[in-house]
Amino acid sequence: MKQFLLSVLAILSFATINAQNCSDLFISGYVEGYGTNRAIELYNPTANAIDVSGYSVGRFSNGATSLTGIQLPSAMIQPYGNYVIVIEKLDSLGTGLETPVWNGYQAWDTCRDALNGMPIIDDAGEVVFCVQYDANGLPLYGTVYNDFLDLQGRADVFLCPDYNVNNAMYFNGDDAVALITGTTVANDGSNILDVVGVIGEDPGDAWATPAGLWITRDRTLIRNSNIENGSGAVVSALGDTLAYGDWTSYPKNTFDVIDGQHDCACNLINTQPISTVDFSVYPNPTNGAFTIEAAKRINRVEIYNMVGQMIYNNASFTAEKANIVIDNSNKGIHIVKIYFDNESIAIQKLLID
């Protein structure tokens, strides 16, 4: 899917178009990590469920004004919910450009300088960690699951397995990433809902802050809670720049800020309780057997598929740990809803493969 934005004059016609607050999907999260760790999180700021098949995501590569995009498959984003799109690199034997998306079982350690052995610090002052690979470039896996290393388990959909067929999700720090309605960009650009980056501008390595810190390369971005709609078209020819102040930036390969409930002013009317209970769900992905561990006693667990059908409901738990087995014929993304003693609720996406 490629559509050329016709001319600066045509572009100018949508310069004054502004999305109404809390009215349509926008990009709430962005991951540009190691290898093929790439993800886009969409957020539904409305009070109605939205079918994502009416939308496409993609990239304007290296300053291009034509979009390489992919239409999303049919799935509903519930009101004030999100939808995580991850590049489909799942083969554990993949190397190079086929290196698999991390699944939480990677062997890892603190990155150290080869000369002095000291921990490597990124430009935000954070210690950088490295996953381990063998001499042939194959990932090394352990037996311990680490949620912070798991991007695969946060996905609602995996797209673009073959670069040569569709490379919409293979964005780097110098590609403008976009969300549009439909499958092609309108001549006047009016269906461009959101852009991370600037269309028609090649920033070099990445778009950066005035201080020179990278925004779109080796970073995870989360939209700030006061942002209630997408940017619309952000176009170099108009002198537009990336509104880096709309985002909170995290170090490379930070995945645990993706998924869950996006914090947005639009959902102030959403009265569903938000749990402050620490918990984990593992392994994720799973073949149907998994464990929930929490800091408080688990009262009930419900599991729903992505069309809202309950496939599991058990209120017989009496401890802070629950071992659950469900029919692995229910493959795909599911929602695990956990109730605790004080009736607070925690929600976690679960992939059954």
- 312 is a domain residue: yes
Whether 328 has a pLDDT exceeding 60, the answer reads: yes
Same domain, 299 and 204: no
Query: Does residue 112 sit within a domain?
Result: no
Ramachandran quadrant class, 260 (left: phi over 0; alpha: psi -120 to 50; beta: rest):
left
Same domain flag for 193 and 49:
yes
Q: Do 82 and 227 share a domain, yes or no?
A: yes
Q: What is the pLDDT of residues 113-143, one digit of tens each?
A: 888 888 888 766 777 788 888 888 888 999 9
Q: Are residues 199 and 333 in the same domain?
A: no
Residues 169 and 286 in one domain: no
pLDDT digits (tens, 9 = 90+) for 197-206: 999 999 999 9
Same domain assignment for residues 82 and 168: yes
Q: How many structural domains are present in the chain?
A: 2
User: Does residue 261 share a domain with residue 196?
Assistant: yes
Residue range(s) defining the domain that contains residue 335: 273-352
pLDDT band at 331 (very low <50, low <70, confident <90, very high): confident
pLDDT tens-place string over residues 168-221: 999 999 999 999 999 999 988 999 999 999 999 999 999 999 989 999 999 999
345 inside domain = yes
Q: What is the pLDDT of residues 39-53, one digit of tens each?
A: 999 999 988 899 999
Is 244 among the domain residues?
A: yes
Is residue 318 over pLDDT 60?
yes
Does residue 102 belong to any structural domain of this protein? no
Q: What is the CATH number of the domain that holds 285?
A: 2.60.40.1930
Q: Is the CB of residue 17 less than 8 Å from the CB of residue 190?
A: yes
Radius of gyration of the chain (CA): 21
Task: Look at residue 1 and tell me if it is in a domain.
Answer: no
Q: Which two tokens stand for residue 318?
A: 């009496």
Tell me the whole-structure pTM to 2 decimals.
0.75
